[in-house]
Amino acid sequence: MSPFLENLFWILVGAVITRILDKPIERLQRKVNYGLRRFISRFRQSGNLAPIQYEYRIGKWRVGWFVIEGSSSDPYTVNNAICQFDPTPLVLPPERQQRKNQIEESQAKLEKELGSREFHNGPTLALGGFRRGQKGDMEEPLLILQLRSSDYYTYLATAMSLDELISVEQGRTTTVRERYLRNIRYESPIPEFASAFSINLNVITSDGYIVIGKRAEGMGGYPGYIFPAINEVVNPVADRSAIGTLSLFATAQRGASHELNIEISEDELVFFTLGVDTRWYFYELTGLIRSKTYSRDDILSRRSLGSKERWESTELYFLPHDPESMAKFMRDISRTEKWGPVGVVCLVQTMILEFSEKVTERALRKYPPLKPESSSRRQSSD
């Protein structure tokens, strides 16, 4: 056989063998991949890793946040995010009620000795459930929140005490988180622990800047972290409409006034999604105020005059209305500051609404988060 025919023969034999083995090899690869993924999934479910389905991920960014309802590209209008009040009182587990009683006693002692409490036991609302729907010919998204009466000391005794060690049977100890929030479904909130429902809003100024903030060091949950410009717990007494119903717009109004010293109107406000912080079991609504009235300089001027809760944010950041600039800011500041999960989520959702998912994802892939510098290294470089 000539060299040419011999080479052609072996080429044909190789092609036949490849054709015969191609599917079995492909099936074997899939089987190995699926096996590895199942192993990783079981490892995550064992508590060593957070389940990846409960992460918020885009580009190379990921945070412990789970979106339950809604979309940043098709947000809820003010009239389509509705509160329904359920008068059924919360009943805490006995040892959590005991912890709440201890908080009350310690705060009462502080008030007696120093004249004031460290924590005021203001009214809050617990998320008991929700329903979804659509309205009108355009099928506008509808969100109905079922809220129950709660208070700040319940919040301290539950969500803010998840890592507290407690005694269980046979002298063993475990954490509050392990005892009450093991194998939970975030789509079905436990109201006794989802005990301080809140809204988180970024602001776009009349001249196009996106406003976010940095929480004060004394704030609970994420002290000193980058957060939305407005973070406000819904108050069942203060946050009422003109006809007396619970109103998320009233919550947004109060937050804008108390934190930024500005006024807003209903047509300036939208809500993105209902979600949960998977670390602290905070159920929250994200959204955006698009101000027609206040520019960057106006907000700085208004803040300089003082406001009731100005102390809650130590800094405001005004980001250019450009996806690359915003993503670069997120990356650069991640070297020296920490992002709260809702801070990332609310800003990304703002970007998606303004620039589209594709553009936002491309920018965030280009500018991934950086590893934070240690404080000693930053001081030496200063």
Cα 195 to the center of its chain, rounded Å: 16
Q: Is the pLDDT of residue 374 over 70?
A: no
Q: What is the tens place of the pLDDT at every residue in 81-139?
A: 999 999 888 999 999 999 999 999 999 999 999 999 999 999 999 999 999 998 888 88
Average pLDDT value for residue range 27-55: 58
CATH number, domain with residue 180: 3.90.79.10
- pLDDT given at position 314: 85
What region does 244 belong to: left with phi over 0, alpha with psi -120 to 50, or beta? left
Nearest-CA neighbor of 342 among 213, 215, 203, 200? Answer: 200
pLDDT digits (tens, 9 = 90+) for 335-364: 999 999 999 999 999 999 999 999 999 999
Say which residue, 376 or 149, is predicted with more confidence: 149
Overall number of domains in the chain: 1
The pLDDT of residue 229 is above 70:
yes
Contact assessment for residue 232 and residue 124, using Cβ atoms and an 8 Å cutoff: no
Give residue 107's pLDDT: 97
Average pLDDT over the chain, rounded to an integer: 89
Reported pTM:
0.84
Q: Which residue has the tokens 């009620």?
A: 97
Q: Is position 31 within any domain?
A: no
Contact between residue 222 and residue 340 where contact means Cβ atoms under 8 Å apart: yes
Q: Is residue 99 part of a domain?
A: yes
Report yes or no on 37 lying in a domain: no
> What is the structure's pLDDT at 371?
83
Residue 32 maps to a domain: no
Domain that holds residue 207: 65-381
Q: Specify if 264 maps to a domain.
A: yes
Please indicate, yes or no, if residue 7 is contained in any of the structural domains.
no
Contact partners, residue 308, CB within 8 Å, separation at least 6: 257, 258
Q: What is the pLDDT of residue 379?
A: 44
- Other CB atoms within 10 Å distance of the CB of residue 315: 11
